[in-house]
Chains A and B, each alone.
Chain A
């Protein structure tokens, strides 16, 4: 039994995609006027979902090999000695295409995290404060992206 107003959780207490979509911002845009049509600005939410999905793919496809190389293979001594030399890495990261790649590699997972974590705060932790949470999550991702741009320009 679920008490009134409480959202029934899916199997294993997990929140299904449908429930997440149900409580998405779209619902708040439904016209509430008495029979009148209300014009509202289009929601930026599809944009957040697009970044979420792009970041999900970057995190799934690209991040594991990067973590394995940067964090594990190097320390384990599996790489050639000069693989991480300053000259070589500096030359690699100086390439404009490499910079573009690095920006996507860093920023897209941040937006994936922001969107996912935003719903986790509402569903798993049961905290409301929708606007504050959204500003905090997307704000952190935007800040991380700005820092990435700043660093990449200076390399």
Chain B
């Protein structure tokens, strides 16, 4: 539900980008305003809740075996959270600092 809201936000951003510099600057000005932040806070809260429940669900579904031993759920959850942090850092790097 909230991630679909993000998809629409991203589509609007890219649509303004495809229309040229002036429409893009207009959309970026809207992004700077209070409405964009309010919408984003709601989406972020919803999506973070989804991340938590989705990872929890994954640890209950996936069973990883190393030889005869079953990897404990906490370890899978930890690996997922670690992957989430690494992926977020990589995305942030490309989105903000790459090619500056």
Show the binding face of A for B, using Cβ within 8 Å. 55-72, 74-76, 79-80, 82-84, 86, 88-93, 102, 105-107, 109-110, 112-113, 116-117, 144, 147-148, 151-152, 154-155
Main secondary structure of the interface of B (DSSP, over half): helix
| Measured CA separation A117–B7 after assembly (Å) | 15
- Contact residues on B (Cβ < 8 Å of other chain), bracket: 35 or more
| Cross-chain contact of A92 among B39, B48, B99 (Cβ < 8 A) | B99
Contact of A93 with B37 in the complex, beta carbons under 8 Å: no
Choose one: A57, A88, A116; the contact of B1 (CB below 8 Å): A116
Known: A55-B3, A60-B84. A67 touches B92 (CB 8 A): no
Q: Give the interface of B toward A (CB within 8 A).
A: 1, 3-4, 6-11, 13-15, 17-18, 21, 24-25, 28, 31-33, 36-37, 39-41, 43-44, 47-48, 50-51, 54-55, 83-84, 87-88, 91-92, 94-100
A-B contact pairs, 29 of them (CB 8 A): A61-B84, A64-B48, A65-B95, A67-B43, A68-B44, A70-B13, A71-B9, A71-B36, A72-B37, A72-B40, A72-B44, A75-B33, A80-B97, A82-B100, A83-B96, A84-B31, A86-B17, A86-B21, A86-B24, A86-B25, A89-B24, A93-B17, A102-B10, A106-B11, A113-B4, A117-B1, A148-B7, A151-B11, A151-B14
Verify A69–B95 contact, CB threshold 8 A: yes
Identity of the chain A residue whose Cβ is nearest the Cβ of B21 in the assembled complex: A86
Given contacts A64-B44, A80-B96, 19 further A-B contacts (CB under 8 A): A59-B6, A61-B87, A65-B95, A66-B95, A70-B9, A70-B10, A71-B31, A72-B41, A79-B96, A84-B28, A86-B25, A90-B17, A90-B24, A91-B99, A92-B95, A102-B10, A109-B6, A144-B11, A155-B14
